[in-house]
Amino acid sequence: LAKTTQPISMDSYEGQEVNITCSHNNIATNDYITWYQQFPSQGPRFIIQGYKTKVTNEVASLFIPADRKSSTLSLPRVSLSDTAVYYCLVGDMYSGGGADGLTFGKGTHLIIQP
């Protein structure tokens, strides 16, 4: 599994856009990039997943440059409830590729202030 590097923590204010960047220099051809969100004393929640270019859903966007050595999770107009730990994971997500558990890094602790 490719190793990931993220900021340990970030602060922002309500209403702003927050971008969290993850480095994954050793990403493999079959690897997807997945982001999870975790609130204290809760299980992680899947946010978004992508392979290249841009992916957008109702909660976030994921930007992946052509070399795929990094990715950026973009949270539009954050609120206090977005305060959480955000994990970037990289791995082969093809079905039939084996029952692989996920390897979580340290994540980014995002703190949103009023």
Partner 1 sequence: GAVVSQHPSRVICKSGTSVKIECRSLDFQATTMFWYRQFPKQSLMLMATSNEGSKATYEQGVEKDKFLINHASLTLSTLTVTSAHPEDSSFYICSARVNRVISYNEQFFGPGTRLTVL
Binding positions for partner 1, rule: CB under 8 A? 32, 34, 36, 41-46, 49, 87, 93-95, 99-107
| Least distance from partner 1 to the Cβ atom of residue 96, Å | 8
| Least distance from partner 1 to the Cβ atom of residue 41, Å | 6
Cα 100 from Cα 93, distance rounded (Å):
9
> Residue 35 or residue 82: which is nearer to partner 1 going by CB?
35
| Least distance from partner 1 to the Cβ atom of residue 44, Å | 5
> Residue 46 or residue 114: which is nearer to partner 1 going by CB?
46
Cα 72 from Cα 88, distance rounded (Å):
9
Q: Which residues pair with 67 in a beta bridge?
A: none
Sign, CA torsion 47/52/56/61: positive
- Token pair listed for 100: 């692989």
